[in-house]
């Protein structure tokens, strides 16, 4: 009888003990979630907001709410709660596709990547701590000075395109007049415009290669970018071919050399238009930039 009683007693204590013990923790606790949300917000602020902040009239990639954790977490295209592997945003960050290796801001450090991963795994909480913890004075991986100079020079690419485009298009116009009037002066003018246009296209193309244009592999913008880059470079080479042709062509209307040059120039003008159209799309963040 006594043994049964003791056993019962033991059973009661065990159960009481079990229920008193804290429930096994399911993922990070509330404080940990607050901390994670605060930490990732700081990372996004430092490394993404320049291009995806709500303050921008035209955020990059048509994504302008990187500091709105709630809205981001609710968009399954960016974040699948609890699953970093399926969260596009984390994948982009992990593979240094965002901010892009040659952006003005350095890519995320391994620690920062880990934080973003933990945050997604914790269900991408958006509630922030009352007071954001003070910024640690940790020195960041600096973007090299040369890289920044290159990025800055690249900004002049859109500006510089106006010279070769304007000159070569004017050459087409002048060539039409030359054909109409059959006058040497006009043919010489075409030669001048074509040579100058071709020469100015070289630095323009070079600046294009310096531009820092972050792209997400496989996106529409990435495709436009590649086409623009390759075709743009080809057009520059083609302009040099035109310049050579016009220099060796006699100023004689109707000669074979002149006709050959004229054909090359027209083709060049067409290609320039295509490259310009694609460049405009890049500027606007996608096709449809001529929508009425
Ligand atoms: C220097 C500018 C720049 C910075 C900084 C930058 N991005 Fe981007 N981001 C872009 C551009 C441009 C695109 C569009 C690329 C494309 O479509 O190919 C883009 C696209 C994206 C997309 C995909 C949007 C969509 O709907 O397809 C996500 C997500 C993204 N960025 C997240 C981030 C995050 C997170 C950071 C910070 C860690 C960041 N970006 C930093 C320029 C930037």
Nearest residue to 38 via CA among 162, 129, 157, 122: 129
* CATH of 151-284 given 1.10.150, 1.10.3430, 1.20.140, 1.20.120: 1.20.120
243 has pLDDT over 60? yes
Q: What is the mean pLDDT of the chain?
A: 86
CB 292 within 8 A of CB 227: no
Instruction: Kindly write down the DSSP assignment for every residue of 35-104, as one continuous string.
Output: HHHHHHHHHHHHHTHHHH-TT-SS-GGG---TT-HHHHHT-TTT--TT-GGG-HHHHHHHTTTTTTTTSS
- For residue 119 the two structure tokens come to 């945050």
- For residue 59 the two structure tokens come to 């955020």
- For residue 60 the two structure tokens come to 């990059």
Q: For residue 105, which atom of ligand 1 is closest to its CA?
A: 5
Q: From the CB of 64, is ligand 1 less than 6 Å away?
A: no
195 has pLDDT over 60? yes
In this prediction, residue 26 carries a pLDDT of: 63
113 vs 255 pLDDT, higher one? 113
* Residue nearest ligand 1's atom 10 by CA: 60
Q: What percent of the chain has pLDDT over 70?
A: 87
How many Cα neighbours within 13 Å face the side chain of 276? 18
In this prediction, residue 2 carries a pLDDT of: 59
**Domains of the chain: which residue ranges?**
31-129, 151-284
Q: What is the mean pLDDT of residues 49-59?
A: 86
33 CA distance to ligand 1 middle (Å) = 25
In this prediction, residue 212 carries a pLDDT of: 80
70 vs 286 pLDDT, higher one? 70
* H-helix segments, the chain: 2-20, 30-47, 49-52, 69-73, 88-94, 110-121, 145-154, 157-160, 162-181, 184-210, 220-248, 256-284
Q: What is the mean pLDDT of residues 91-105?
A: 86
251 has pLDDT over 90? no
* Residue nearest ligand 1's atom 21 by CA: 61
In this prediction, residue 12 carries a pLDDT of: 53
- For residue 130 the two structure tokens come to 């009352």
Q: What is the mean pLDDT of residues 113-121?
A: 94
Q: From the CB of 221, is ligand 1 less than 6 Å away?
A: yes
CB 213 within 8 A of CB 158: no
Nearest residue to 96 via CA among 272, 220, 216, 238: 216
What pLDDT digit, counting tens, does each position of 217-239 carry? 888 889 999 999 999 999 999 99
* Residue nearest ligand 1's atom 23 by CA: 61
Q: From the CB of 99, is ligand 1 less than 6 Å away?
A: yes
136 has pLDDT over 60? no
Handedness of CA 135, 138, 143, 148 (dihedral sign): positive
What pLDDT digit, counting tens, does each position of 4-53 carry? 655 655 555 555 544 444 444 567 888 888 899 999 999 999 899 888 98
CB 125 within 8 A of CB 34: yes
Name the pLDDT band for 102 (thresholds 50, 70, 90). confident
């Amino acid at each position: 009888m006594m043994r049964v009683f003791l056993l019962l007693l033991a059973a009661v204590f065990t159960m009481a003990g079990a229920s008193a013990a804290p429930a096994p923790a399911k993922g990070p606790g509330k404080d940990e979630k607050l901390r994670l949300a605060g930490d990732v917000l700081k990372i996004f602020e430092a490394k993404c907001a320049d291009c995806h902040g709500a303050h921008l009239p035209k955020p990059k990639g048509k994504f302008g709410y990187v500091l709105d954790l709630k809205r981001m977490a609710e968009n399954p295209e960016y974040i699948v709660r609890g699953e970093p592997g399926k969260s596009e945003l984390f994948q982009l960050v992990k593979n240094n596709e965002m901010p892009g290796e040659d952006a003005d801001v350095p890519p995320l450090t391994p620690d920062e990547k880990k934080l973003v991963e933990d945050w997604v795994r914790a269900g991408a909480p958006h509630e922030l701590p009352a007071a954001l913890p003070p910024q640690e004075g940790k020195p960041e991986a600096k973007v090299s000075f040369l890289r920044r100079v290159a990025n800055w020079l690249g900004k002049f690419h859109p500006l510089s395109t106006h010279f070769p485009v304007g000159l070569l298009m004017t050459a087409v116009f002048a060539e039409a007049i030359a054909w109409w009037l059959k006058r040497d002066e006009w043919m010489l003018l075409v030669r001048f415009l074509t040579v100058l246009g071709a020469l100015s296209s070289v630095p323009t193309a070079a600046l294009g290669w310096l531009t820092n244009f972050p792209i997400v592999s496989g996106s529409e913008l990435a495709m436009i970018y590649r086409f623009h880059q390759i075709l743009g470079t080809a057009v520059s080479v083609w302009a040099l071919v035109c310049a050579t042709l016009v220099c060796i062509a006699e100023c004689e209307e109707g000669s074979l050399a002149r006709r050959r040059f004229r054909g090359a120039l027209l083709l060049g003008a067409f290609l320039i238009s295509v490259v310009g159209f694609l460049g405009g799309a890049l500027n606007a963040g996608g096709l449809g930039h001529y929508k009425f």
